[in-house]
């Protein structure tokens, strides 16, 4: 039997640190243009049918209006890899990854060191290949602000 997109269910958590990774919060607002910060994506993908094997699922992370200074991936094996710079597309940078979907999935962690480039409201996206239903794509809103005078 072929798998269908509802067989694979991802869980994605997006966190930010404005203090070198000491504290992580889910509020992606009030990031000052020019400031360096960290984005952390924690991801697992459950295989609800479990066909006797783990399944590789491709996913992409697109981050708008942001310079990516460094990207690392701690994958299902626990290994940490520095990911080369991705192509900067129209107004965003996209990175592509692979995670294993399994009955008891391991967490993959993607960490970005970022610099906010442009004030405004920006939508970052996590999207998956055709194995995963589109309804599981994850969007988050980041708000970049100009530094106030005197700060």
pLDDT at 48: 86
* Distance of alpha carbon 81 from alpha carbon 75, whole angstroms: 8
Quote the pLDDT of residue 91: 78
131 in Cβ contact with 4 (< 8 Å): no
pLDDT for the residue 3: 61
Please compute, for residue 81, the number of CA atoms within 13 A of its CA located in the half-sphere on the CB side. 12
State residue 151's pLDDT score.
58
Pick out the chain residues at pLDDT < 50.
1
Neighbours of 39 (CB within 10 A): 24
Q: How many Cα atoms are found within 13 Å in the side-chain-facing hemisphere of 130?
A: 2
Per-residue confidence (pLDDT) for residue 112, from 0 to 100:
94
Give the global pTM. 0.88
Q: Which residues contact 144 (CB under 8 A, 6 or more apart)?
A: 31, 32, 33, 65, 116, 117, 118, 119, 120, 122
């Amino acid at each position: 039997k072929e798998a269908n997109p509802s067989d694979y269910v991802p869980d994605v958590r997006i966190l930010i640190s404005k203090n070198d990774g000491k504290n992580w919060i889910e509020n992606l607002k009030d990031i000052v243009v020019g400031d360096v910060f960290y984005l952390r994506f924690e991801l697992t993908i459950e295989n609800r049918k479990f066909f006797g094997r783990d399944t590789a699922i491709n996913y992409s992370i697109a981050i708008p209006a942001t310079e990516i200074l460094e990207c690392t991936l701690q994958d299902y094996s626990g290994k940490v890899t520095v990911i080369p710079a991705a192509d900067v597309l129209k107004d965003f940078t996209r990175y592509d990854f692979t995670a294993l979907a399994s009955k008891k999935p391991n967490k993959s962690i993607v960490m970005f060191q970022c610099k906010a480039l442009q004030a405004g409201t920006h939508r970052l996206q996590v999207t998956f290949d055709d194995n995963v239903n589109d309804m599981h794509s994850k969007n988050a809103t980041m708000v970049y602000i100009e530094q106030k005078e005197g700060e």
